[in-house]
Structure formats: C-alpha cells, structure tokens
Amino acid sequence: MSRHDLNALSKVVLHDHLDGGLRPATVVELASSFDYPGLPADSSAALERWFHQAGATSLEAYLDAFTHTFGVMQDPEAMRRVAFEAIVDLAADGVVYAEIRFAPSLHTARGMTRSDAITGVLQGLSEAEAVTGVPGRVIIDALRQRDDSEAVAAAAAEFAGRGVVGIDLAGPEAGHPAHDHRNALAMAREAGLRVTIHAGEGDGVESIADALACGAERIGHGVRIIEDTTVRDGRIVSMGAVAGEIHERRIPLELCPTSNLDTGIYASPAEHPFGLLYRAGFAVTLNTDNRLMSATTMSREFALVSEFCGINRDDLHAITRTAAGSAFCTDTERASLLERVEVGYR
C-alpha cells in the first residue's frame, strides 16, 4: 500500500499525549510569548530535529524532552491552542476519533489550576471538532511518581460527561506501582470515568498484572505482554496467566510501535511483536503515543506495521474497528464512529 492509500484510510487513535504532539513552530511561538528560557534550538526546523527522540537510551531519557513542551503550556490559551492543533493535524491524517491525554499537574507552574488547564483543552477540542468534524475526548493522566493523584482524579471528575472520558496513570513504571494510586482510580470510577493504565512499557508483565488488579479496562502500551507467551515458528503457541487473562477478556492493548523503538524496547521494526499479538487474537490497537518526539503519524504507524509486521489492509480495517469498539465513548457515539470507520475502507 502506498502512503497515499494509507492516509486515506479511517483511523482511531486512543493513545496520544497532548504534550507529545506539539507543532515545533508552536513551541517556538509559545516560548516567545511566555518568555520561556532554555529551548535547545531557536528555529522550528532545528527544534523538530532535537525533539525527535529516536535512539533514546531509556523511557526516562525519552520523557526528558517533555520538559520543554509542558514548559510552554502554562496558561489556558496555550492549552486551547495545542489541543485545537492536535485535532486539526490528526484529522488531516485520516483520524476520525481521538482520545487525547495529558497530565494537568504539569501545567500549574505559573499558577494555572488543573481545572483551568482541562477547560482550555476542552475548548480547543470543541473548536477543532466544529472545524474538522472529528470528535476529540480527554483522558486525564495522574503521574505514578507523584503523590497528587487524588487531587488529579478530583479535577477530572469535575468534567466527567463534559468531554473528559477517562483517567490514566503515566510516568515511569519502575518503582512506582499502580496500586499506590488505588484511591484515585476508585474516585475516578465513581465519577463515571473509564480507566486505562500505562503498563508493560518500562516494566514487564508484573506491571501489567498490577494494572489489571487496579481495574484497568485498557492497557497503555502493554507490549511486553509478549514476555508472558511462548513464541515458536513465528506464532504464539502458549500464554502465561497474565497474557491469558488479557487475551480471554479482550483487554485492549494501546500499542505504539514507533515509540517502543525510540525508547529501545526493540532494536528494529521487525522485532516488534505487533503482528504476533494481532494474529494470536489479542485486542490490539495502533497509536501514535507522541507525534513530535517520535516524528510519527497514524499513517506512518500503519506503514510500519504493514511493512514489517505482516499487516494488510483488511487487518488495518479490523484493528481500527477494535479501536472504535474500545473507545471510551457512549454506545450512540460508538455506532456513529463505526459508521465513519467503514466509510474509509470502502
């Protein structure tokens, strides 16, 4: 399939970080308006090259680049602008529905409240939907390494049913187990929010098991579930207890292949287990994670798995339907979304 053909296909993205998808020119302009010091480059072209984190030595090193994106997103107008541009850019790539996530606690350095940050993002998403027709919804990130997850959950709960659809735990997995944040997750569920948890990216199968025990309905990344399987002759022939539960319950995996390559989980695209997991019947979805840091788009993710993981057009159709079926939206919204997906595969 050509890049043009891939661009025309309908796409659903469930795992896209707001502060990982800024336009480089927007970073430069916001830094100027905020009098933000210390950008590693002055021009948008040079900054784009710097932000591309291919070859990062670890997840933690990859995450360091975010200092400069959330550093310039410190008032409601900046939040609105970045959210608006995110949906416009995704829509241009064939995305018909997007769940955008961010951690409001990272945007309070200049006095903005978590609620103000969320309000700004929701305004930007609403304005972008009016222009593009693409619904954008919000997942609020609490950070594993911080002790404010209950305050984050309370802020998210204010907007349940008003564009905020879920809560997530993000940040470094090692040494920061999901179960430390059980109370926050319970608060979010009581407010009607859905739960996805980053797991099986920086840490292995134990992190995924911990996320399941905390009520995760989807697993952010989850790629290291492959370590709980036996692969023989290019296919999964048996599964351990955690992989078996993920498989049997059809827990969606928010897979992000390019990001996994950039953080060094896999050395080459051919090593990525996306195709193995898909062909074994796991509920895999395909996502961008961080469009700026990984220099990617949904079309590029489609191209990567098509070229290296044995995925064809019919498979992409099925994977996109799985993503639509896994979205944190109402049944009515899902029916409309599935119709829009089908249009892109006729």
* Active site positions, annotated: 201
HEC secondary structure over the chain: CCHHHHHHCCEEEEEEEHHHCCCHHHHHHHHHHHCCCCCCCCCHHHHHHHHCCCCCCCHHHHHHCCHHHHHHCCCHHHHHHHHHHHHHHHHHCCEEEEEEEECHHHHCCCCCCHHHHHHHHHHHHHHHHHHHCCCEEEEEEEECCCCCHHHHHHHHHCCECCCEEEEEEECCCCCCCHHHHHHHHHHHHHCCCEEEEEECCCCCHHHHHHHHHCCCCEEEECHHHHHHEEEECCEEEEECHHHHHHHHCCCCEEECHHHHHHCCCCCCHHHCCHHHHHHCCCCEEECCECCCCCCCCHHHHHHHHHHHCCCCHHHHHHHHHHHHHHCCCCHHHHHHHHHHHHHCCC
Annotate 311-346 with b (16+ C-beta within 10 A) or e (fewer). Answer: beeebbbebbbbbbbbbbbeeebbebbbebbeeeee
- β pairing state of 194-199 and 164-170: parallel
Q: Residue 329 is encoded by which pair of tokens?
A: 């939206």
Alpha carbon distance 143, 333 (integer Å): 29
How wide is the angle at C-alpha 254 spanned by C-alphas 103 and 106, nearest 5°?
10
- β pairing state of 235-239 and 229-232: antiparallel
Alpha carbon distance 257, 262 (integer Å): 9
